[in-house]
């Protein structure tokens, strides 16, 4: 999937000026994503396609397409007789280990990305920044968009590394959406998205300045702080 395609499918906001109206698949995707991220559809719960279709006043076809996108992102899975279910939550230990792996890879990727990023990617970064700033609106759609914007930022960094194996490794983790879903259930850290948004500002500034040292450092700090926040939220401190 190209970066532009990712932006197009994951930031569909009908009201936002300057953006094309979302397709039915995009509407279905955003609705389901928001329900999953805010745990209105609980982990393991069946997703009734006919009910969702009625709620949105659209046919089942775009909903099935949105579900197959969410399946690729490991947020839902398909079973033979039941249809789609929300994926189970990651355990706190899995979340901790995921950050450890990311800390080994992403700071390096960020340094390379700061050297390589072209103007088109840099302008996408500015769009991502806007979406992250919108999280202060504190509604659930903004929250889901923030999670998506976070996923895109880290994806662009991975791609910007110029190392396809790094890019694929990070992509395969599909970590971001899962992590945000866990975070939402842990109201112990209600300000985490705002704090993370500030950390992201430093990363984006370093990338825009083509500063590899600052990019590496800001990504390392962001991931270390995120790991600590998650450990506190899930009660998994390992000092």
Residue nearest to Zn ion (CB): 150
Of 26 and 150, the one with the shorter C-beta distance to Zn ion is 150
Give CA–CA dist 84/81, Å, rounded: 9
Note the Cα 57 to chain centre separation in Å: 27
Contact set for Zn ion, span 150-169 (CB under 5 A): 150
Length of the chain: 239
| Shortest Cβ 222–Zn ion spacing (Å) | 6
The continuous run of DSSP H or E covering 204 comes out as: helix 192-208
Is the Cβ–Cβ distance between 36 and 75 less than 8 Å? yes
Q: State the nearest-atom distance from the C-beta of 150 to Zn ion, in Å.
A: 4
131 versus 150: smaller Cβ distance to Zn ion:
150
* CB 147, min distance to Zn ion, A: 9
Beta carbons within 8 Å of 180's beta carbon, 6+ residues apart: 37, 143, 146, 147, 150
Which residue, among 180, 185, 211, 172, has the nearest Cα to 196 in the 3D structure? Answer: 180
- Residue 148, interface with Zn ion (CB under 5 A)? no
The minimum distance between CB 36 and Zn ion, in angstroms, equals: 19
Considering beta carbons, is residue 7 or 41 the nearer one to Zn ion?
A: 7
Nearer residue to Zn ion within complex by CB, 31 or 229: 229
3-class DSSP state of 87: coil
| C-beta of residue 176 within 8 angstroms of C-beta of residue 149 | no
Judged by CB under 5 A, which stretch of 12-20, 26-34, 142-150, 161-169 contacts Zn ion? 142-150
Smallest separation (angstroms) from Zn ion to the CB of 136: 16
Query: How many binding residues for Zn ion (CB under 5 A)?
Result: 1
Which residues are within 8 A (CB) of 88 and not within 5 positions of it... i.e. 6 or more apart? 43, 44
Nearer to Zn ion, 148 or 150 (CB): 150
Q: Using CB under 5 A as the criterion, which residues of the chain lie in contact with Zn ion when the complex forms?
A: 150
């Amino acid at each position: 999937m190209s970066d532009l395609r990712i932006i197009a499918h994951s930031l569909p906001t009908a009201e936002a000026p300057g953006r094309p109206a979302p397709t039915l698949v995009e509407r279905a995707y955003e609705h389901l994503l928001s329900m999953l991220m805010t745990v209105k559809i609980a982990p393991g719960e069946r997703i009734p396609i006919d009910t969702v279709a009625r709620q949105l006043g659209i046919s089942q076809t775009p909903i099935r397409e949105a579900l197959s996108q969410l399946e690729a992102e490991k947020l839902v899975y398909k079973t033979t007789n039941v249809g789609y279910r929300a994926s189970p939550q990651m355990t706190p230990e899995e979340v901790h280990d995921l950050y450890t792996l990311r800390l080994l890879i992403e700071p390096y990727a960020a340094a390379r990305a700061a050297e390589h990023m072209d103007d088109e990617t840099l302008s996408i970064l500015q769009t991502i920044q806007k979406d992250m700033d919108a999280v202060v609106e504190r509604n659930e759609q903004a929250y889901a968009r923030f999670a998506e914007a976070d996923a895109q930022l880290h994806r662009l960094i991975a791609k910007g590394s110029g190392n396809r194996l790094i890019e694929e490794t990070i992509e395969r983790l599909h970590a971001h959406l899962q992590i945000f879903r866990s975070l939402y259930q842990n109201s112990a850290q209600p300000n985490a998205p705002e704090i993370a948004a500030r950390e992201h500002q430093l990363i984006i500034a370093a990338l825009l300045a083509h500063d590899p040292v600052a990019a590496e450092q800001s990504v390392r700090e962001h991931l270390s702080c995120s790991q600590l926040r998650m450990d506190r939220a899930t009660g998994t401190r390992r000092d």
